[in-house]
Amino acid sequence: MKKEDINKALFNAAEKVRKNAHVPYSNFKVGAAILADDGNIYAGCNVENAAYPEGVCAEAGAISQMVAAGQKQIKRIYITGSGFDPVMPCGGCRQKIREFASLGVIIISHGVDGEPLEKTLDELLPFSFGPESLGVKK
């Protein structure tokens, strides 16, 4: 599958679940879709909670879906939200992505009224602490 086709499939999956986000406090819906090493796409949306900030980010939801399906390796991730500016993963989600992705994995951040921004995990989380920092081989 070509990169453009993969990106389109990831975008569509992220947008589909973004509509289901539970965001009564921020009113900012986010969707995330992961291409795992099994070739499947796993998606998640943000879910807020009255005990703010105890909600779940879209990226964490997508990672949970991937792990629940028995997969452990992110190959590419696409994040969507409203507006023109790229919707970037928060610091906690950057670390969660780091657990399951190599530093060269592309993260696409997209405010759907603007242009998508592609960055590697290493660009978003330089000098990171990962599994190999604790002697765990991926």
Q: Active-site residues: which are they?
A: 59
Contacts of 101 (CB under 8 A, 6+ apart): 73, 74, 75, 77, 121
Q: Please, how many CA atoms are within 13 Å of residue 63, restricted to the half-sphere of its CB?
A: 19
**What's the Rg (C-alpha) of the chain?**
14
